[in-house]
Amino acid sequence: MSTTQKPVNQKAWWLVLPVLLCVAFSAILPLMTVVNYSVQDIISPERRVFVGTEWFASVMRDTELHGALWRQLQFSLAVLAFEIPLGIALALSMPAQGWKASAVLVVVALSLLIPWNVVGTIWQIYGRADIGLLGHTLQALGFDYSYTGDPLHAWITVLVMDVWHWTPLVALLAYAGLRSIPDAYYQAARIDGASKLAVFRYIQLPKMRDVLMIAVLLRFMDSFMIYTEPFVLTGGGPGTATTFLSQYLTQKAVGQFDLGPAAAFSLIYFLIILLLCFVLYNWMQSLGAATKEPTHD
Amino acid sequence: MARIELDLAHAYKPDPKSDADYALLPLKMTFRDGGAYALLGPSGCGKTTMLNIMSGLVVPSQGSVKFDERDVTRSSPQERNIAQVFQFPVIYDTMTVAENLAFPLKNRGVPAEQIRQRVGQIAEMLEMSHQLDMRAAGLSADQKQKISLGRGLVRSDVSAVLFDEPLTVIDPHLKWQLRRKLKQIHHELKLTLIYVTHDQVEALTFADEVVVMTRGKAVQVGSADALFERPAHTFVGHFIGSPGMNFLSAQGENGQLRVQSLEVAMPDGVSVPKGELKLGIRPEYLRMTQPHAAGSVPAQVRQVQDIGTYQLLTCDVAGVLVKVRLAADMPVPPVGSQVWLRVLGQHTCFYRNEELVA
């Protein structure tokens, strides 16, 4: 540890100013407009009433919203439960070098290049019993599959679609993590007589921890805000089976023009994501007992 | 424990054509059971390749590796029962120090009680007993390397323990301690130790026998003494010693010798080989003499450096710079003056085509 004295120079704060301005205009000010809506009842552009926390209170009592929140939590947890292990498995089975590695990387990344609404459309057609490969095959095999009629089918289809769309992201991150492990670790493991499982448990998994943390946070946040794909695929139905939080919010804000409650809920939504990310982050940090290894080369 | 016999060559590229394509040129070598060896050479000389071939991480492209007559050329490190310590510390982040040390034993299904004893013993040797329950990831680089060393030494039945420049990341003063520790462990455990390094001090103090390598070739195997007194190859002369051996061109004819085209008065009872030669003499053995003394050549002093315990002269002998190590009590000639240096004596070596001839 060096004990050299750091020079003190308060002028450095000026260098932070551009960042503060950027953040203010890109994040804080837009957020303030939401705060503004959340505490007022806007009847017309000229007539507005300050209502305090009334919208927040009404949102908290909204049972439809509770349903959407519960569905959303289940969905996001399912997404993580499938995509993280699958992504790791995919990364482990990808070739490490050579033209095969490049080819596989491109193939794996393909689904990430498709726009959200196109993903929804692809699966909408794919799952149709009359012209879709998946729907038709399942029907032919004797399953009465219908993502428009059966809530469970719809829910599973949305989940599978998300797994298909986003597992490659987890795989790419995990792959990057795997490639950064120096060869000496694998050599040492061979010398120490470690089994494949032990290599995974004691070398690969711990070394991937940081990238996996990013993967978990990204997938959690993204899936928690999922909107376009289910909107295109099922439109939130049948009933409310696949109406997730952001779609419910959009219905409220844009469909019914209830800006006040929608704004209030936006803020709560934001805090929920922040809180859950915080919990996830700290939980994953504690898995490695907060041991940041200093790099040595 | 085992005697290790190598008779092999290795090229990383398929279908090697010239010598330059080989990481290791064809060589034959035997490592005695229970010996302490060092592979010494500059970076890229093939010493790590040789080590990895012995441990089984690399399969040689030609030839064989034998442990006690048993051909293990294609066996895994595990089958060979080899331990290896790498240049940079490899530790298992999520484990404690004790778990790290126990890992090679646990993987081999050693009973828990035996593991505990052995780990305790090794930790004591490495002075890590008080850290056994600490998480390995939080330790400093040299502590981590000590764990790596410990993992290499923890198995009592290994054929050999191989070290690949293990002390590179260690502080100098600790390096000294650890090297002594290794030597002591060698005496206590009677393991075959093979140690790769580019640091001659490390090699010479650690090993009973040093293998000097350059460009994929083992040019000399010998004790520290032999490497110093009778380098078998000019590379050894140049690489061992600080500074290395001085080389002058020489021609031997009819029992007479010309050094750098200068006539040398032959001392009594000294015979020199014939033909185009290289004369090698260590800075320690170059002596200033009377002008025109037998076996000496004139030289001009170019530089005087005070190295602390001795003075180092750089002298010009007919266009070639040589280093002379002066004992502390010797008078130091001024820069620019002419001196006579005795180049012929019992410590003088002669080389033809870089190989020792006399």
**Per-domain residue ranges of chain A:** 11-52, 63-287
Average of pLDDT values for B78-97? 88
- Among the partner-chain residues B87, B89, B94, the one whose CB lies closest to the CB of A288 is B94
* Spatial CB neighbours of A288, under 8 Å, sequence gap ≥ 6: A206, A209, B93, B94, B137
Among A195, A179, A171, A20, residue whose Cα is nearest residue A82: A171
Give residue B115's pLDDT band: very low, low, confident or very high (50, 70, 90).
Answer: very high
Among B302, B298, B281, B279, residue whose Cα is nearest residue B289: B298
Distance in angstroms (rounded) separating the CA atoms of residues A218 and A118: 21
pLDDT at A259: 84
Q: Is the pLDDT of residue A289 over 80?
A: no
Average of pLDDT values for B328-345? 86
Sole residue written with tokens 């032919």: A140
Give residue A293's pLDDT band: very low, low, confident or very high (50, 70, 90).
Answer: very low
- Among the partner-chain residues B76, B87, B90, the one whose CB lies closest to the CB of A185 is B90
* Spatial CB neighbours of B93, under 8 Å, sequence gap ≥ 6: A206, A207, A288, A291, A293, B136, B137
Residues of A in contact with B80 (CB under 8 A): none
Q: Hey, are the CB atoms on B88 and A185 less than 8 Å from each other? A: no
* Least confident interval from A153-162, A167-176, A287-296, B303-312: A287-296
Q: Which CATH superfamily is domain A63-287 in?
A: MetI-like (1.10.3720.10)
- Among the partner-chain residues A184, A193, A198, the one whose CB lies closest to the CB of B86 is A184
Residues of A in contact with B150 (CB under 8 A): none
Q: Which CATH superfamily is domain B242-356 in?
A: Nucleic acid-binding proteins (2.40.50.140)
Minimum distance, in Å, between the CA of residue B154 and any CA atom of chain A:
10
Q: Is the pLDDT of residue A294 over 60?
A: no
Report the 10 Å Cβ neighbour count for A60.
13
Interface of A with B in 272-291 (CB under 8 A): 288-289, 291
Q: DSSP character for B151?
A: H
CA distances to B8, B32, B57, B82 from B5, in Å: 10, 9, 17, 14
Give residue A288's pLDDT band: very low, low, confident or very high (50, 70, 90).
Answer: low
pLDDT at A106: 92
Going A168 to A174 to A179 to A183, the CA torsion angle's sign is negative
Q: Is the pLDDT of residue A291 over 50?
A: no
Q: Are B239 and B200 in contact (CB under 8 A)?
A: yes
Tokens read off for A31: 């957020």
Backbone angles phi, psi at B178, to 5 degrees: -65, -35
Q: CATH 3.40.50.300 occupies which residues in chain B?
A: 4-238
Q: Is the pLDDT of residue A1 over 50?
A: no
Q: Are A67 and A202 in contact (CB under 8 A)?
A: no
Give residue A203's pLDDT band: very low, low, confident or very high (50, 70, 90).
Answer: very high
Whether chain B has a CB inside 8 Å of the CB on A2: the answer is no
pTM above 0.90, yes or no: no
B348 or B169: which leads in pLDDT: B348
Q: Hey, are the CB atoms on B93 and A184 less than 8 Å from each other? A: no
pLDDT at B309: 83
Interface of B with A in 38-77 (CB under 8 A): 55, 57, 76-77
The dihedral region occupied by B272, where left means phi > 0, alpha psi between -120 and 50, and beta the remainder, is beta
What three-state secondary structure class fits B24? Answer: strand
What percentage of chain B has pLDDT greater than the value 90?
16
pLDDT 10s digits, B29-44: 888 888 889 999 888 8
* Spatial CB neighbours of A220, under 8 Å, sequence gap ≥ 6: A76, A79, A80, A276, A277, A280
pLDDT at A3: 57
**Mean pLDDT of chain A, nearest integer:** 87
Q: Are B99 and B149 in contact (CB under 8 A)?
A: no
Tokens read off for B117: 């004893």
Minimum distance, in Å, between the CA of residue B134 and any CA atom of chain A:
12
Distance in angstroms (rounded) separating the CA atoms of residues B278 and B259: 9
Query: E strands within chain A?
Result: 40-42, 48-50
Q: Is the pLDDT of residue B154 over 70?
A: yes
Q: Are B220 and B233 in contact (CB under 8 A)?
A: yes
Backbone angles phi, psi at B112, to 5 degrees: -55, -40
CB pairs under 8 A between A and B: 67
Whether chain B has a CB inside 8 Å of the CB on A296: the answer is yes
pLDDT at A85: 96
Distance in angstroms (rounded) separating the CA atoms of residues B55 and B50: 9
Cis peptide before A7 (omega within 30 of 0): no
Give residue A79's pLDDT band: very low, low, confident or very high (50, 70, 90).
Answer: very high
What percentage of chain A has pLDDT greater than the value 90?
36
Whether chain A has a CB inside 8 Å of the CB on B80: the answer is no
CA distances to A191, B21, B184, B213 from B46, in Å: 20, 12, 28, 7
Among B296, B302, B249, residue whose Cα is nearest residue B277: B249
Over B212-226, what HEC string results?
EEECCEEEEEECHHH
Report the 10 Å Cβ neighbour count for A134.
17
Q: Is the pLDDT of residue A21 over 90?
A: yes
Q: Is the pLDDT of residue A296 over 60?
A: no
pLDDT at A292: 45
Tokens read off for A53: 């926390």
pLDDT at A290: 44
Burial letters for A250-274: b for 16+ Cβ neighbours within 10 Å, e otherwise?
ebbbeeeebbbbbbbbbbbbeebbe
Distance in angstroms (rounded) separating the CA atoms of residues B357 and B150: 44
Among B86, B194, B188, B83, residue whose Cα is nearest residue B144: B86
Report the 10 Å Cβ neighbour count for B43.
8
Average of pLDDT values for A52-57? 86
Q: CATH 2.40.50.140 occupies which residues in chain B?
A: 242-356
A85 or B156: which leads in pLDDT: A85
Tokens read off for B212: 């000097």
Distance in angstroms (rounded) separating the CA atoms of residues A260 and A267: 11
Whether ipTM tops 0.95, in short, is no
Give residue B332's pLDDT band: very low, low, confident or very high (50, 70, 90).
Answer: confident
pLDDT at A297: 39
> Which CATH code for domain B4-238?
3.40.50.300
Tokens read off for B108: 């081999």
pLDDT at A171: 95
Minimum distance, in Å, between the CA of residue A200 and any CA atom of chain B:
11
Q: DSSP character for B334?
A: P
What percentage of chain A has pLDDT greater than the value 70?
95
